[in-house]
Amino acid sequence: MPQDALAAVVATQSEHAALKWNAMLRDAVTVEDVLNDRWIATPFHAMDCSLVSDGAAAFIVTTEARAKNMKKKPVYITGIGEGFSHQYISEAESVASVRDGLGRAGRRAMEVAGITPQDLDVAEIYDSFSFTPLIALEGFGICGVGEAGDWVMEGNAKLGGKLPMNTHGGLIRQAHLGAMHHIVEAVLQLRGEADDSAKTEFNGGNHQVPDAKLAITNGSGGILAATSALVLSSEPPSAA
Amino acid sequence: MSEKPAYNKPLPDLRPEDATFWEALKEHRFILPCDDAGKPFWYPRKYAPGTLSQTSWTDASGNGTIYTYSTHFIGPSKAYKGDPPHIVALVDLDEGPRMMTILVKDEDGYPSLDPEDVTIGMKVRIVFDDVTDEITMPKFTPAA
């Protein structure tokens, strides 16, 4: 994976975090900024790494019947999947086995939901490091194998792009609360509540994906080891 | 070359299931855990992955090939503060298992190999770094 591709993930998400009212890092950075940042461990500069955060996030999971009586428009879980490839990183067979293992989560979630990657409107992808969403994009089948770097560098993951990704800035720019905020952001997107322009005291901006109906989101644990994914929908699953 | 500094870094938390491994290292012998079919694995533990048989031990050559590596500019704790960059590598041992280790220049386990001297696919061999009277760390250096 070229260094520019990793930096493009950071730059993309920084543009989104600049609009997200509660992101820890609000400044938009360029690919060059990331490449010139101090090293932590190759291939990761400091900006390629997720943040250390204190915070909280919450969502309520309940039945469709109860959700209908609540004030807010519900969002539906229409697909769920899990994937696993190894325990410690020395036990991972190859990049391909890791991609396939964690990718199974997203592929299975979309299979359960009865959708394909082309149907997705927004993707909130676990981003412990800038590399993590790239291997997930390929594993989930959103990009072909070896294509995620170019895909992000071409701007497809930006707001207004083919599939906006980490529209809240993700763990790299908003805050690291596991994957909680990825789910919260996906819910906000599907409800049409991701325009923070009215939050003028926080200099909020509009990071809403217009008319978003289907989102994929995932979380991961271990060293790229265990992943679970959800497909969330603004519409209830069809009776069929 | 600077003198090897006293070791002030974290030490392994020895457990009954890996004591045999560390005792061998102290004698500058490199052994690998293996399952009941004699297949070696990494890392040391009481039961073999897959078969869940009791672990037994086999002598290993200490020779391997670099699968991949990363240059670390900061360490995992304050004990590494001010240290020069070090290289963490995944080494494919000739016996099969892949092991995470540190790459060094010299026989006594110090100093770190320079990043420009590392390539994927490079042959390496084990060196025994006696960091304390009790603990010897397995590290790797380019094969002659």
User: Residue B108's pLDDT is what?
Assistant: 80
The pLDDT tens digits of the residues spanning B72-127 come to 999 888 998 888 899 999 999 999 999 999 999 988 888 899 999 999 999 999 99
Q: Give the closest of B71, B90, B100 to A41, CB-based.
A: B71
CA distance A52 to chain B (A): 15
User: Residue A68's pLDDT is what?
Assistant: 87
User: Residue A239's pLDDT is what?
Assistant: 52
**A205 or B4: whose pLDDT is higher?**
A205
Confidence of residue B2 (pLDDT cuts 50, 70, 90): low
Check pLDDT > 80 for residue B144: no
Cis ω on the peptide bond leading into residue A43 (within 30° of 0)?
yes
Residue with tokens 């994906």: A209
Domain extents in chain B: 16-142
Indicate yes or no: CB of B74 within 8 angstroms of CB of A91: no
Reduced to 3 states, what is the DSSP secondary structure of residue B124?
strand
Domains by residue range for chain A, with CATH = 3-233 (3.40.47.10)
Q: Which residues pair with A229 in a beta bridge?
A: A81, A218
The pLDDT tens digits of the residues spanning B45-62 come to 999 998 999 999 999 999
- CB burial string A30-66: b at 16+ within 10 A, e below: ebebbeebeebbbbbbebbbbbeeeeeeeeeeeeeee
ipTM for the predicted complex comes to 0.91
Mutate to test the interface with B, among A37, A38, A40, A42 (most CBs of B within 10 A): A42
Distance CA A100, CA A83 (A): 8
User: Residue A240's pLDDT is what?
Assistant: 47
CA distance A30 to chain B (A): 23
H/E stretch holding A226? strand A226-233
pLDDT means over runs of 10, chain A (240 residues): 96 98 97 98 98 95 92 95 94 95 98 97 98 98 98 98 98 96 98 96 97 97 94 83
Residue of A nearest to B90 (CA): A90
How far does CA A39 lie from the centroid of its chain? Answer: 24
